[in-house]
Structures are given as structure tokens and as C-alpha cells.
Amino acid sequence: MLPSFSNSDHDLPKKSNTLELRNSTFSFIKSLFSLKNCAWIVLTILVQLLIVVFMNRASLWPSTLPAIRDNFQAPPHEKDCEFGRVYVYDLPPVLNKELIENCQDLDPWPWSSKYCSAVSNGGFGPSATGLDGIVPENLIPAWYWTEMYAAEVIYHERILSYKCRTTNLDEATAFYIPFYVGLAVGKYLWFNHTADDRDRHSLIMLNWVKDQPSWKRTNGSDHFIMLGRLTWDFRRLHDSDTEWGTSFLYMPLMKNILHLTVERSQWDELEFSVPYPTAFHPRFQSDIQQWQSYIRARKRASLFCFVGATRKSFKNDFRGLLMNYCKNESDSCRLVDCSVTHCYDGAPVILKTFLDSDFCLQPKGDGFTRRSTFDCMLFGAIPVYFWEGSFKDQYKWHLPVAAEAYSVFVDNNEVRNGTDIRSVLERYSREEFDIAEDLSHLGVNGSNRLHFKPVLDSVMVSCHHIWCLNLGGGLCYS
Ligand SMILES: *[C@@H]1O[C@H](CO)[C@@H](O)[C@H](O)[C@H]1NC(C)=O
Ligand SMILES: *[C@@H]1O[C@H](CO)[C@@H](O)[C@H](O)[C@H]1NC(C)=O
Ligand SMILES: *[C@@H]1O[C@H](CO)[C@@H](O)[C@H](O)[C@H]1NC(C)=O
Ligand SMILES: *[C@@H]1O[C@H](CO)[C@@H](O)[C@H](O)[C@H]1NC(C)=O
Ligand SMILES: *[C@@H]1O[C@H](CO)[C@@H](O)[C@H](O)[C@H]1NC(C)=O
């Protein structure tokens, strides 16, 4: 059993033991991302879940780590930074800055130049265009064509201006390693690159960090890193050139470092998922409020929609099944076929489709989770999942553990067996998932009632405007 630190004194964390350090680091990082501190509410969904959070906050934190909950007591003078301060390492440029500068080299398909645009504007990507009539005019400047794997760049950019950042190593509760490992490995994932190619940057980073005095104090248990890609890209098991990914997360020096990723492995207690970046990067709290009012007032013409492409190489491809189903149900389903339409991240046709639908079908993609789910929720549509892995153990800091509070689950096998998706969705009346002004309705209690678009205003907690780091609607600081 983990010891309880609830009576711990107010010592600076560096004087504590490793576990306590780990705990304080957890609390700190959690505080960066937690709903408590930010209005991440860009997603409609969140509205509701915030209330769930307030009612039942404890249940959001990983139950396997009871001791991390509310244990860390910040030093008494830390009025503004309740959870402590973060130190951002100044890494060798080859691990971040040079990757951006040489962005044309990042792409496995050099002609696409996708990465150069992806890493522009501090990871937000190019300003969005073509959103007239989809997004209120005054909000258009808050939209960018953000790439789904840009989180590590955005995160770094934002944390540099974070008010609880410290440049004094002795003052830090947590140490952030701004290594763009997803960008570094991206190019080497494909073709006949070697395992060494895939691991090179990771080894440079670990060899560098292990010599830092701040590392030696704790062996990394107060260190954290953001991984822009799905966790599966960092978990190569063998030293084989033909096996996918880098072995980064299995390198011995990684064993204490907490990692954030857009899709986590449920077997890794040191890994936490945070939403994929979306296209919306609100500048002020008022941007968020305006957006919320806008999507809440929207009259939606379609019951559900499907955005995706079939995967011809897959036998029994579930996406193909959904696509055919959607075509057949054209009265209630709106289809964007990405083998015909160019479906880049945040394409207006996709966003418009979400805006006009009550539900969006979300089969698994490369992993169990999809960026598209967050685009969908951002536009006020409700995700329909077909695999448990798409929500189970994911986004615990951002979404309610009770997935039925904000989404619908229909097992993919049942769909194959003839369960009619449309009939399932029709069981939810519009009233049930329309604005619930009465807060007493907002609990998950109440079986399959989706309180999807309730009052945001009461839960617009202290989001300090530009410190709202929008990843999929809002990793916030402060
Ligand atoms: C694979 O490796 C061979 C030999 O090193 C090289 O000639 C070839 O261009 C490589 N192919 C690709 C697709 O990188
Ligand atoms: C860090 O790891 C080394 C090698 O395993 C060990 O000797 C040392 O005691 C550890 N330090 C701390 C603070 O845990
Ligand atoms: C298409 O819809 C019709 C009428 O609703 C139904 O009878 C038929 O089985 C459906 N076909 C597919 C492939 O879903
Ligand atoms: C699908 O149908 C088969 C045959 O009727 C049945 O054995 C199986 O349990 C069903 N699976 C699900 C998930 O409903
Ligand atoms: C909902 O809450 C009420 C009172 O708190 C309780 O009696 C009831 O059993 C709950 N219903 C469900 C489905 O959890």
C-alpha cells in the first residue's frame, strides 16, 4: 500500500523521498491539465463533465495511485502557484529547435512539406481559411489548421510563458523535458530505416538529462515529457529494424519519467492521455463563451454523421461497414468520404458536418482514439464509440470516467450482428441532450441521459485567458 502523505509537512519537495516527489510532480502536472484550473470547456461536453468533476473530483484521478491525490502541500509562500513551479530544461537544440528549423527533413514523404506547416505558429499551424459561415466571423482568427501530432510543440511553446515556470532549479517541483520525440522519430517510422535511426534522438536526450544535477536527485521521478504521437509509436520491444517505432518508453532511464500522450497505454501508470489538439485556439475566455453559445444554439439537421475512409487492406473493415450504413441511411446520416474528399485536419467540410449533426460515429483509427472525436465534440456533436478502448482509461483528467455521461457506446460486434445504430441513437431525444439549465440534472445518475450541452457559465472556472493551452479544446495553465 502506498503511504499517505495527508499530514505531510510543508517542506520543499526536494527534501522529500522519491515517492513523495513523484506525488508532488503528479499533482503539479495534473494541475497544469486539470479542469479545476482551466476552462477547457471548449468542448461542449466539458460543461457537463466539469460539474461531474466538481461533484466527484476524486474519481477522476487514477484509482491505482491513491497517494497522489491532494497530498502535495506547496510551500506556504507559494500563493500563486499552489502546486509548485516547473523548470523547463534548455536541451541541446538537436532535440527540439533544430527539428523545427529543418522541418523539411522531418517528413518521410518530402514532397508533402506537411511538417513545416504543422510546426509553424508555435505548433498551431497555418491560420485557418474557408471557415466563413461555419465559425462566427470574429472568432475566425482563433482557428488554425493544427496538426494532430503537434502537441509537443504547442505544449513547449506555452509552458515557456507559464506563470508558474521557474528558472531556478532549486525552486522547481517538476522538470519538463521539451524533447519533440514524435517529430524526431516521425520520419524514421517508415521504410527501411533502422532501429538505431529510430532511437538516436531519444538516446541523446537521456544521456544528456541523466547528467543534470536535478536528475540525479531523484533519478527522474519529478520529470515529465509530452509525446505528440500515440504511445504505440514509442514502444518497440525488440532491437529489430523491421519492427515499428522507437523503444523510447522502454529505455531504462525512462522508468521514472511521467509522460503525457494523445493516446495512452492502459498498462502504464506513468502515462496520462491528454486530448489531441484541435483547430480552435481561443484567445480569451470570451472566445470560449461565444463559441459555446454558438454551438448550443445550433439547429442540427442530421441525426448522425460519419467522417472517414475505408481501409481496403483490412478484411471486414468496420469503417467500410459504417460508410455503407451511412450511405444507406442518408436521411439521418451525413457522410464525408475521405477517399473522395481531402480530409486534412480541420477541413471545413468536416467541421461543417459535425456542426450539423447530433452524433458522430467514431470507429477506431490508427489507435483506439481519434483526433476526429475531439473535433466532433468541439462542434457540439456527441461521439458514438464502437470499441471500449476508445474511452476506457483515456483522458481521465479531461473526460468523466463514466463515458455514458458524454458519449454513446455500441459494441462493434453488435453492429456487425445487426444492431441498428440509428435506432440506438433515436432513443436519445433531443431534449435529453439539449441544454440542461438545471444543475441538479447534471449528474451521471439517470441512466442513459446525455446532458451534453448544459450551462457552461457556472463552470467557467479561472481560465486565465491566453494561458489556456488549447489542445483539443484546452490544456490550460493557471
Ligand atoms: C533501403 O535501403 C537500401 C540500401 O541501403 C537503399 O538503397 C534504398 O534506397 C532504401 N529504400 C528506401 C525506401 O529508403
Ligand atoms: C538513482 O539510481 C542509482 C542507480 O540505480 C542509485 O544508485 C541511486 O541511489 C538512485 N538515486 C535516488 C535518489 O533514488
Ligand atoms: C438499407 O436500408 C434498407 C431499408 O431501410 C434495408 O432494408 C437494407 O437492409 C439496408 N442495407 C444495408 C446494407 O444496410
Ligand atoms: C453475434 O451473433 C452470434 C450468432 O448469433 C452470437 O453467437 C454472438 O454472441 C453475437 N455477438 C454479439 C456481440 O452480440
Ligand atoms: C440516482 O440518485 C438517487 C439519489 O441520489 C438514487 O436513489 C438513485 O438510485 C440513483 N440512480 C441511479 C441510476 O444511480
Domain boundaries, the chain: 88-268, 296-470
Task: Count other C-beta atoms under 10 Å from residue 107's C-beta.
Answer: 16
> Of 64-68, 107-111, 221-225, 236-240, where does mean pLDDT reach its minimum?
64-68
What is residue 162's predicted lDDT score, i.e. its pLDDT? 76
Q: What is the pTM of this model?
A: 0.77
Helix (H, G, I), strand (E, B) or coil at 261: strand
The amino acid that residue 258 corresponds to is L
Q: Which of 386, 411, 414, 417 to mutate to test the pocket of ligand 4 (most atoms within 8 A of CB)?
A: 417
Beta strands, E only, 75-228 = 85-88, 165-166, 172-176, 223-227
Task: Count other C-beta atoms under 10 Å from residue 424's C-beta.
Answer: 18
What does the alpha-carbon distance between residue 176 and residue 156 come to, in Å, rounded to a whole number?
A: 9
What does the alpha-carbon distance between residue 282 and residue 289 come to, in Å, rounded to a whole number?
A: 10
H helix count then E strand count, the chain: 15, 13
Q: Which helix (H) or strand (E) holds 409?
A: strand 408-409
> Of 18-32, 181-195, 295-309, 338-352, where does mean pLDDT reach its minimum?
18-32
Q: How much distance in Å is there from the Cα of 439 to the middle of ligand 5? A: 15
What does the alpha-carbon distance between residue 113 and residue 108 come to, in Å, rounded to a whole number?
A: 10
What does the alpha-carbon distance between residue 144 and residue 122 come to, in Å, rounded to a whole number?
A: 11
Q: Which helix (H) or strand (E) holds 290?
A: helix 285-297
Closest CA to ligand 3's atom 9: 328
What is residue 6's predicted lDDT score, i.e. its pLDDT? 29
Q: Determine if ligand 4 sits within 6 Å of the CB of residue 417.
A: yes
What is residue 173's predicted lDDT score, i.e. its pLDDT? 83
Which of 121, 143, 148 has the alpha carbon at shortest distance from 132? 143
As given in the structure block, the three cell numbers for residue 123 are: 505548433
Q: What percent of the chain has pLDDT over 70?
A: 71
**Strand bridging mode 333-337 / 302-308:** parallel
The amino acid that residue 262 corresponds to is V
According to CATH, the topology of domain 296-470 is Rossmann fold (3.40.50)
What is residue 89's predicted lDDT score, i.e. its pLDDT? 96
What does the alpha-carbon distance between residue 351 and residue 137 come to, in Å, rounded to a whole number?
A: 15
Q: How much distance in Å is there from the Cα of 394 to the middle of ligand 5? A: 26
pLDDT in tens, 179-211: 999 999 988 888 889 999 999 999 999 999 999
Q: With bands split at pLDDT 50, 70 and 90, how would you rate the model's confidence at 234? A: very high
What does the alpha-carbon distance between residue 60 and residue 67 come to, in Å, rounded to a whole number?
A: 14
Q: Which of 321, 328, 330, 420 to mutate to test the pocket of ligand 3 (most atoms within 8 A of CB)?
A: 328
Best-predicted range by mean pLDDT among 36-50, 242-256, 458-472? 242-256
Residue 410 above 80 pLDDT? yes
Best-predicted range by mean pLDDT among 13-27, 32-46, 322-336, 422-436? 322-336
What does the alpha-carbon distance between residue 424 and residue 410 come to, in Å, rounded to a whole number?
A: 8
| DSSP tag of 380 | T
Closest CA to ligand 3's atom 4: 328
Inter-axis angle of helices 285-297 and 44-56, to 10 degrees?
110
Contact 272, 282 (CB under 8 A): no
Average pLDDT over residues 432-453: 37
Atom of ligand 1 nearest to the CA of 192: 1
Q: For residue 414, give every residue at least 6 positions away whose Cβ sits within 8 Å of its Cβ, in sequence order, or none.
A: none
Residue 47 above 60 pLDDT? no
What is residue 326's predicted lDDT score, i.e. its pLDDT? 96
Average pLDDT over residues 128-142: 93
Average pLDDT over residues 388-401: 81
What does the alpha-carbon distance between residue 266 and residue 280 come to, in Å, rounded to a whole number?
A: 28
Which of 138, 144, 149, 183 has the alpha carbon at shortest distance from 346? 144
Closest CA to ligand 5's atom 1: 445
Using left for φ > 0, alpha for ψ between -120 and 50, and beta otherwise, residue 452 falls in alpha
Average pLDDT over residues 296-314: 86
As given in the structure block, the three cell numbers for residue 389 are: 478502448
Q: Who has greater pLDDT, 196 or 4?
A: 196
Q: For residue 398, give every residue at least 6 positions away whose Cβ sits within 8 Å of its Cβ, in sequence order, or none.
A: 33, 35, 40, 46, 49, 274, 275, 472
Burial of 268 (0-12, 13-18, 19+ CB in 10 A): middle
pLDDT in tens, 327-367: 999 999 999 999 888 887 778 999 999 999 989 999 998 89
Residue 452 above 50 pLDDT? no
Which of 446, 440, 428, 41 has the alpha carbon at shortest distance from 49? 41
What is residue 110's predicted lDDT score, i.e. its pLDDT? 66
Q: How much distance in Å is there from the Cα of 259 to the middle of ligand 2? A: 20
Q: How much distance in Å is there from the Cα of 219 to the middle of ligand 2? A: 6
Q: How far is CA 91 from the centre of its chain?
A: 24
Instruction: Let me know how long the chain is.
Output: 478
> Of 19-28, 42-51, 352-361, where does mean pLDDT reach its minimum?
42-51
Task: Count other C-beta atoms under 10 Å from residue 297's C-beta.
Answer: 10
Best-predicted range by mean pLDDT among 73-77, 206-210, 388-392? 206-210
Q: Determine if ligand 4 sits within 6 Å of the CB of residue 242.
A: no
Residue 460 above 70 pLDDT? no
